[in-house]
Chains A and B, each alone.
Chain A
C-alpha cells in the first residue's frame, strides 16, 4: 500500500509524518464543530425560506400559516436588515434576502425562527411565496447568446492565432461540456450568532474566511468591523465551498439574532444546502487548434463559457484562473482566449478546489489527446512535445505563458519520464491494446497527464498573512494564525514549523481556533496557500521569540546570539545546554518578551488584472498521474483500475498529510469527472439535491493499486521549509482518468472519430460517446 515515507529529518518536528493535531479527538468524538458547541440559554433555531421559481417577481410573502405553527417565533425578511440590504461581496450584486425578484430556485427569501430546528424547517415550507414567473436562463450557451453576463468578458491574446491555424498542417475544432460539482463537505453550512454586550457580536462560523464573515456581518448590521468577532476552530470540510458561502449563513443568522435579540443557530438541512449554495462552475467550450505532424500546437483559439449562476461571487477570479491554466503545462505560441462570465438563473457558482484551474486544464488535455489520436501518436508523446522548456534549458524559447510569465521551474520532463517508467506505461499500453483487440465487451484505456499549477492568490493583495506565537512560562507554546483548519492539516504543519523553529517537540505546540480578534484582516484559507502564507508568518513569529531567547542566552554565556542553537528541547550555547523550559522561565524572570507576531507577504508577484498579464504566481507546483480504466461497451459503466501519482510537494513538511491531500484531491477530481453529475430540471430546480442522487466516490471506487510518490526536491523559490503547496494541484491529475476513458472509447469505436465525451463521464455519457455517429 501507500504508507508515507519515513522522515528524513528525525530530530526535527518538521518533515515528519506526525498525525493530524486533532486526530485523537476526531476518532473519539471530542473534536468540536460549530453544531457541537455548548448552546447558550435562549438559543433559537432558524431555517431558510427558499424561492420555488428560478426567475420571477416576488409579489408577496404570506407567513400566517408558518407563524401559527408550533414553536415558531418569527419570520425574518429583507425589511428586517438594519444595514445594507445588499451583501458586502466585492461585486455588490447579491441581495442578502431576495425582496423584489427571485433569481434561482433555492434563493433565500428569509428565515423562520423557532424553538427547535425541525419546527423552523417545517414552518419554512409553510411560508407562501407569491411569485410571478419570468423567463429563466438555465443554459450557458443560451446565456451567451443573450449576452447575459455577471461580469464583462476577458480576452487574452498573443501572436495571431487565426493566421497560425490557417498556416498549420492540421487543424481540429470541437466543443466540450464540463459539469459543475457540489462540494459535499460532510459538515453542512452552519453559523451560530450570539449577541454580546454593547452592540457586539460573536459568530461561530464554519468558514474558510473569518475576516470576510466579520466584514459581511458588520456591514449587514450597520456596525464597525471591530464590533464583530468571528471564531472557527475547524470545519468539517471546506473545499472552497466555505470561502464566501459561509458568510451568507452568518449574515442571515445575525439578522435574525438582531431582530429577536436572541442567540440564533442556522444549520442547513443537506437538501437546502445543495439548493442554496454555489457549486464548481460548469463550463462549455468551443476550440480550434492548428498543429504540426508531430502534434505540436501552433495556434489555439478558445472560447470559454463559465456558468456563473445569478451573481458574480468569485466568478471573476475563477474564470481568470481557468484562462491562466488553459495552457496547463504547454507552450501556446499563438493563442486567442475569450472568457465569458455568464449569468444564469441558478445557484451562484463559487470557489471549489482548483478554482477554475481544472476547467482550464481539462480543455487543453482533451485537445492534446485528440490531436494524438488523429495523428496516430501516443498521447504522452504529444503532451511531452508541447511542454514548456525544462527549468535547466539554456536559452529557453518556449517558456513564456500566454499571460507573459516566465516558467522558470518546470520539472515536468523528468517527472513524466519517471512516472512513465515507474508505472510501466509503455508495457501496459501494449498489453491493453492486445486486450482490447481480443475482448470487445470490456475495453481498457491508460493515460498519463501532467499538471502545472500556479501558486498564489491571483489577487496580489491576498498574499499576506499574520500569526501569533505565545510561549508560556512552562515552556508550552500556542500558535494562532489567520488560516483556518478544514482538515487539510494546516494547524499540524504550522505547529510543526513552530516546533522546528524553537527546537521543541511537536506536542509542545498547540494551534488554536482562527479568531478575528487575534489576527485581523486575514485572507481566506484558499488557493493552496494556507501553509505557504500562515506557516511562514508563524515561523517568523516563532523566530522573533527565539531571537529574544537567543540574545538572552547569549548574554548569560557571553557568546554571540548567532551561536545559540535550539534543538531537541534544549537551548545550546558554546558553553552550556539548558532545557528550553528552564531558559524560558529564566527569561520571564528577566522580563524578556516571550510572545510575538509574525507577518509574511509573498515576494516577486505582480499582476495587471485588466490585461491578465504579469507574474501572478510565486511558483508552480507540478505532478503527473498515470491512470488505467475499463469501460463496459454494453452499458457505458466504467471503473478505475490503477492509479500511480508522482507529486511535487517540494520538501514535504509532513509526507503523510501531503499524501493525504494528493489522494483526497485526486479522488475528488475523479468524482467530478465520473459519478458526480448535477442535474437541473426544466424548471431550474436541482434534482440531484442530496447524497441519494448526487454520488461522490465511495470506498468501492478506489482501486487496489493506488500509489502516490512525492517528488523529492525542494522548492526552487524560497518557500517555508522548501515545501510546495498541495491542496489543489492533485485535483487536476484526475483528468488522467477522463483521458484514459477516452482512450478506451476510441479503442472500442475503432473508427478514428473524434471522441465526444462530456464530463462527467457517467455510464450514460460514455455509452453516448461509444455510439454517437461520427461528426
Chain B
C-alpha cells in the first residue's frame, strides 16, 4: 500500500517526502532522510527531550506552537504543519535566536547533547509567552522544561536562559505568511487520494467508516505510548489510523454540568480546561509527563490505552467522568471505570473508537489528587489517588475515589467509598477510610515501589486529604513554599 506524500513547511519552504512508511518516526526522517542531525536521540521513548522539535498548525485563525518529542512521533502526523528544528532558528547571517543566544550567554550548554532539545523547548516558550507579551517566571520555565533532561549543568543556567530570552532583541515569525502557506498545504491535502496506509480522517464519520472498514489498522493519536511500540518493541504497522485531525474530536465543549473533551484534544489542552474548573489540579497537571508529551499525547489516548499507571483515569474516575464510544451506527456512553475489563483490555468493539470524555464540573465538592513518584516531575506514578467528597452538614453525602498503580486497571475504590458515604466527616471516619483503602487493593511490587509501601501510602494520603479538608496548608511537598515558612 502506498502512503501519501508528507508535506510540511520548514524554513519557509514546503518539504515533500514520498514513500515514507506509516510507522517511520519523525526523528528518523529528520536525521536519516533529511540529514538534519542537529536533533538528537537520547532515549527513543520521549523521556529525555533531546529530540524536541516545534510544530505549528492553525488553530482559530492563529498559529499554535507546540514543542514535541520527535523520537516517538510518527512522521506522517506532521503532514500539513510547520516544523522547526534547532538548525532552523538562527538567521542567515548566523545571528542567533533569543532561545539560542540566552543559552550561550547563560552558559547553558556543557556537553551540548541535550541542548538542541532545550533550545526547541525554549523556542516554544518564546512563541507562546514572550511573543504574547508574557514574562516567563522561573516556575513557568521549570514546568515547560521538565521534559528535557540535562546531565551536566544542574539546570540553573538553563532556567536563567529561559528568563533571559525576553531581554534580548525580539525575533518574530511572520505568522500571516505562514498561515497562508499552511492553508495552501491544506488544499493539497484535501485533494489527495484517501486510500493510503496512513489515514488521517478529518471528520468523525470518516473516522468511524475507516475504523469499520479496517479494524486491523493501528489506531494512533499523539503516539506517546504507541511510538514506543515502534522504537522499543520493534512492532511494525502496515496501516495506521490517526485520529488527531478529526474535527469533532479536537474540541472542548463546555456544558453547564460537564465538559465534553474530544478524544484527540492534547493532554496539555485538556488539563488546561480541567484546571480552569479546578485550580487545585494545576500542580498535578504539570506533573503529567513533560510538556512535549502533554503537547503530543491526548486525553483520549491516555484513557483508551488504559494503563494501570496512567494518571488521567484516577482523576477522571473521582470526578465521575464518562466516556462516549462511537461507531458507524452511533454512540454509547458509559462510566469511565466500566471501560476497562483487565490489564490494557476494554469493552470497545473492533469498529468502535473513543470519541469524547465527559467530565462533570465542580459542584461544591472537595477534591484533591495525589501522585507518588520517585521524581516529582515527568515520572510515572507508583501510586495515584484522587478523592472527591461531597460533605453536607458535616457528613459525607457522596464519595468518589479513583486509584492508579494498585491494580491491573485504573479503579474506583468502592469499598472505601462505602466506608465514607453517610458517615460524619471526622478524624475517626478518615482513619476508618484510610484503613479500608489500605485493605482494598493488592498492589504489586515493582521497580517503582513495593506493594507494602503502596498500600501504606494510600491510607496516608487519605490522612493528608483529611488534613487539607480541615484547612491545613503546607503539608504537600509538591507545592511547598519554604519562603512562606515562619
CB within 8 Å of B: which residues of A? 1-4, 17, 19-20, 22-33, 35-36, 118, 121-122, 125, 183-188, 234-239, 269-271, 431, 435, 439, 441-442, 444, 486-489, 628, 630-632, 634-639, 641-642, 656-657, 659-660, 663-668, 675, 677, 679, 681, 687-688, 690-693, 695-706, 762-764, 767
Q: B146 contacts which chain A residues (CB < 8 A)? A: 698-700
Complex contact B44–A270 (CB within 8 A):
yes
Q: Which residues of A contact B265 (CB under 8 A)?
A: none
Contacts of B143 in A (CB 8 A): 700
The 8 Å CB contact of A702, one of B40, B44, B159, is B159
Is the Cβ of A667 less than 8 Å from the Cβ of B155? Answer: yes
Cα of A679 to Cα of B449 in the assembled complex, Å: 10
Q: Does A27 lie within 8 Å of B376, measured CB to CB? A: no
Whether B107 contacts A628 by the Cβ 8 Å rule is: no
Asked if A23 and B103 sit within 8 Å, CB to CB, the answer is: yes
Residues of chain A contacted by B302 (CB below 8 angstroms): none
A234-B112, A699-B141 are known contacts; what are 9 more A-B pairs with Cβ within 8 Å? Answer: A23-B103, A29-B87, A32-B37, A35-B41, A630-B482, A697-B154, A698-B146, A700-B146, A704-B138
Q: Which residue on chain B has the smallest CB distance to residue A236? A: B113
Chain B, residues 401-434, CB within 8 Å of chain A (1/0): the string is 0000000000000000000000000000000000
Residues of B within 8 A of A27 (CB): 86, 96, 99-101, 103-104, 109, 115-116, 119
Distance in angstroms from B448 CB to nearest chain A CB is: 7
Q: Are B86 and A235 in contact (CB under 8 A)?
A: no
Question: Quick one: given A184-B151, A442-B480, A642-B482, are A118 and B156 in contact (CB under 8 Å)?
Answer: no
How far does the alpha carbon of A549 sit from the alpha carbon of B48 in the complex, in Å? 50
A639-B141 contact given A634-B463, A663-B156, A699-B377, CB 8 Å threshold: no
> Chain B: how many interface residues by the 8 Å CB criterion?
90
Min distance, Cβ A52 to any Cβ of chain B, angstroms = 16
Complex CA distance for A410 and B480, rounded to whole angstroms: 38
| Across-interface contacts of A23 in B (CB, < 8 A) | 103-104, 107, 109, 112
Q: Tell me which residues across on chain B come within 8 A of A699, comparing CB atoms.
A: 141-142, 145-146, 148, 155, 158-159, 377
Chain A binder among B171-179, B244-252, B315-323, B452-460: B452-460
Q: What are 9 contact pairs spanning A and B, CB under 8 A?
A: A19-B107, A187-B113, A237-B152, A634-B475, A657-B107, A660-B153, A677-B374, A698-B377, A764-B449
Does the CB pair B145–A19 fall under 8 Å? no
The list of the 9 closest CB pairs from A to B, nearest first, reads: A29-B38, A487-B111, A236-B113, A26-B112, A667-B154, A487-B110, A663-B154, A29-B86, A691-B47
* Residue from the list B38, B453, B480 in contact with A767, Cβ < 8 A: B453
How far, in Å, is A689 (CB) from chain B's closest CB? 9
Instruction: Kindly list chain A residues whose C-beta atoms are within 8 Å of the C-beta of B453.
Output: 763-764, 767
B156–A692 CB distance below 8 A: no
Closest to A29 in B: B38
B450 on the interface (CB 8 Å rule)? yes
**Cβ-defined contact, A706 with B156, below 8 A:** yes
Contact B457 A635 (CB under 8 A): yes
Whether, in the assembled complex, B329 has its beta carbon less than 8 Å from a beta carbon of chain A, the answer is no
Decide: A691 and B154 in contact? CB cutoff 8 A. Answer: no
- Return chain B residues, CB-CB under 8 Å to A667: 154-155
With A36-B37, A270-B42 as known contacts, state yes or no: A19 contacts B47, CB within 8 Å. no
Task: Give the Cβ gap from B108 to chain A, nearest Cβ, in Å.
Answer: 8
Docked-complex contact B234 and A122, CB < 8 angstroms: yes
The interface residues of chain A lying within 8 Å CB-to-CB of B478 are 637
Q: Does B181 contact A (CB under 8 A)?
A: no
Nearest CB of B to A218, in Å: 28
Task: Verify A691–B234 contact, CB threshold 8 A.
Answer: no
Q: Does B39 have its Cβ within 8 Å of any Cβ on chain A?
A: yes
| Closest chain B CB from A245 CB (angstroms) | 15
**Most chain B CB inside 10 Å of its own CB: which residue of A29, A439, A486, A636:** A29
Interchain CB contact (< 8 A) of B38 among A28, A125, A184, A639: A28
* Contact present for B448 and A639 (CB under 8 Å): no
Of A17, A24, A692, which contacts B107 at CB under 8 A? A17
Chain B at the A interface: SS class: loop
Contact, CB under 8 Å: A487 / B96: no
Structural contact, B480 and A630, CB atoms closer than 8 A:
yes
B240 at the A interface (CB under 8 A): no
Q: Inside 8 A of A125's CB, which chain B residues have their CB?
A: 234
Bound CA–CA A365/B47 (angstroms): 34
| Residues on the B chain within 8 Å of A635, using CB | 372, 457, 460-461, 464
Please encode chain B, from 135 to 149, with 1 for each CB lying within 8 Å of some chain A CB and 0 for all others: 000100111011011
Which residue of chain A lies nearest to B101 when distances are taken between CB atoms in the complex? A27
C-alpha spacing A442/B158, complex, angstroms: 30
User: Which residue on chain A has the smallest CB distance to residue B482?
Assistant: A641
Known: A486-B111, A691-B149. A271 touches B104 (CB 8 A): no
State whether B38 touches A690 (Cβ < 8 A): no
A266 to chain B, nearest CB (A): 14
A175 CA to B472 CA, complexed, in Å? 38
Q: What's the Cα separation between A665 and B110 when bound, in Å?
A: 12
Write the nearest CB–CB distance from A732 to chain B, whole angstroms: 15
Tell me whether B38 and A30 are in contact (CB under 8 A).
Answer: yes
A698 to B156, CA, bound (A): 11
B142 cross-chain contacts in A, Cβ below 8 A: 699-700, 702
For residue B150, CB closer than 8 A to chain A, the reply is yes
B residues in contact with A184, CB < 8 Å:
149, 151
Residue from A236, A639, A656 within 8 A of B376 (CB atoms): A639
With A and B bound together, what is the CA distance between A487 and B112 in angstroms? 7
A1 (CB) vs chain B CBs: closest residue: B160
Q: In the bound complex, do residue A691 and residue B43 qualify as a contact, i.e. CB atoms below 8 Å apart?
A: yes
Complex: A691 Cα to B375 Cα, angstroms: 11
A767 & B456 in contact (Cβ 8 Å cutoff): yes
Question: With A and B bound together, what is the CA distance between A82 and B110 in angstroms?
Answer: 39
Cβ–Cβ contact A763 & B372, under 8 A: yes
| Contact between chains at B448 and A693 (CB < 8 Å) | yes
Nearest CB of chain B from residue A354's CB, rounded to whole Å: 15
B79: interface (CB < 8 Å): no
Asked whether any CB of chain A lies closer than 8 Å to the CB of B446, the reply is yes
Residue of B nearest to A25 (CB): B112
Most chain A beta carbons < 10 A, residue from B99, B116, B141: B116
Which A residues lie within 8 Å of B151 (CB)?
183-186, 237, 239, 664, 668, 696
- Contact string against A for B residues 12-40, beta-carbon threshold 8 Å, 1 for contact and 0 otherwise: 00000000000000000001000011111
B11 to chain A, nearest CB (A): 13
Is the beta-carbon distance between B485 and A435 smaller than 8 angstroms?
A: yes
Whether B378 is near chain A, meaning CB under 8 Å from some CB there, is: yes
Give the distance in Å from the alpha carbon of A608 to the alpha carbon of B155 in the complex: 41
B110, B143, B446 — which one has the most chain A CB atoms within 10 A of its CB? B110
